[in-house]
Amino acid sequence: MRLLLADDHDLVRETLAAFLVAEGFEQVRCVASLPEALAVLEEDRGFDLVLLDYTMPGMSGLEGLARARAAAPNVPIAIISGTAQRDLAEAVLQAGAAGFVPKTLAARAMIAAVHLMASGDVFAPISLLLREPAIAASLQSLTRRETDVLRGICEGKSNKEIARDLDLQEVTVKLHVKTLSRKLGAKNRTHAAMIARDSGLS
């Protein structure tokens, strides 16, 4: 498998390239800017995947992605980025990238993502993209009292403590926990708290 890696940060580029080679990738060609990447693609389109740093020289945001895709229309081209922003990830994927890869990904996840994209699939970090509208709608469907109970769960309080704080019977709190968990699609109270935190409720 042959990769073209374009990133202007020497340490990031060299570390990632060395890791990919150590994991069995046949060749990792490294450059430090979009113009260099385009020059390489002009002479050699036999790469299985191209990784472009979103903020390196010459990129100009999504314009750089478009130029790279035009230069090598049959090669999967993905964006790597030091910032994991949902809006950016969605824009990159909508622009036709093979994936959006945060540099903060764990090494094993990075390797898995590279294999996935090189095989023709699209990669997007689930944790980034699935703070989805459906979750927001579910949270909005909670009653005020259910939201109060959920905040108590997020604070690590027991049903008894939540009942005392809200001046409710403990059995009533248990009922609210069951109902709000069902609305959120949560397996248990811990899962409900995770969903709430990921959505910015707590």
CATH architecture of 2-129: 3-Layer(aba) Sandwich (3.40)
Confidence of residue 200 (pLDDT cuts 50, 70, 90): low
pLDDT of residue 182 exceeding 80, the answer is yes
- Model pLDDT for residues 98-117, shown as the tens digit of each residue: 999 988 777 788 888 999 99
pLDDT of residue 127: 60
* CATH fold for the domain made of 133-198: Arc Repressor Mutant, subunit A (1.10.10)
pLDDT of residue 75: 95
Q: Same CATH fold, 133-198 and 2-129?
A: no
Quote the mean pLDDT of the chain: 89
Domain range list for the chain? 2-129, 133-198
pLDDT of residue 170: 96
As a three-state string, the secondary structure of the chain is CEEEEECCCHHHHHHHHHHHHHCCCCEEEEECCHHHHHHHHHHCCCCCEEEEECCCCCCCCHHHHHHHHHHCCCCCEEEEECCCCHHHHHHHHHCCCCEEEECCCCHHHHHHHHHHHHCCCCECCHHHHCCCHHHHHHHHCCCHHHHHHHHHHHCCCCHHHHHHHHCCCHHHHHHHHHHHHHHHCCCCHHHHHHHHHHCCCC
- Model pLDDT for residues 21-61, shown as the tens digit of each residue: 998 888 999 999 999 999 999 999 899 999 999 999 999 98
The amino acid present at 80, given as its one-letter code, is I
Whole-structure pTM value: 0.64
| Widest pairwise Cα distance in the chain | 73
